[in-house]
Amino acid sequence: MERTPIGFLLVALGGFVGAVARYGVDVAAGDVTGLGTFTVNAVGSFALGVLVARATTTRTQLFVGTGALSSFTTYSTFVGDTVALGTAAGARYVAASYVVGFAAATVGLVAGRRL
């Protein structure tokens, strides 16, 4: 499934949905540098934690996990925002994103196992 055209199609469709949703959050977050990216990364890390802890089908993992959630979150814009914030604020931004992102993923993994 992963290597088939259907697998790539599921990833592409999920990627479309995830990227548009991320853009929507960015627009809603307004001009505060990093706020939108911080939000999507925290929410997406929680949701991916839930997903990988659940025994779902390969199709679901490809569409929701590899496609939507992995595209909803982003590392490149996270790095770009870090640089834009400068050394001191950038370091705080990285620390906050890491702490909250890891906590969200942990809570998601635990919640996913219990659901």
Partner 1 sequence: MTDPVLAAALVGVGGAVGAMARHAVGLRIAGRRSVVVVNTLGSLALGAVLSAPIGANAALFVAVGVCGAFTTFSSFAVETVSTAADGDTRVAAGFAAVNLALALGAFLLGTVAVGRIASVVAGLL
Task: Kindly list the distances between the CA atom of residue 5 and the CA atoms of 2, 12, 56, in Å, as whole numbers in the listed order.
Answer: 8, 10, 20
Task: Quote the longest CA-to-CA distance of the chain.
Answer: 46
- 24 or 86: CB nearest partner 1: 24
Chosen residue from 23, 59, 86, 96 binding partner 1 by CB under 8 A:
23
Residues 6 or more apart whose Cβ sits within 8 Å of residue 92: none
Contacting residues toward partner 1, per CB under 8 A: 2-3, 7-8, 11-20, 22-24, 26, 40-41, 44-45, 47-49, 52, 62, 66-67, 69-80, 82-83, 94, 97-98, 101-102, 104-106, 108-109
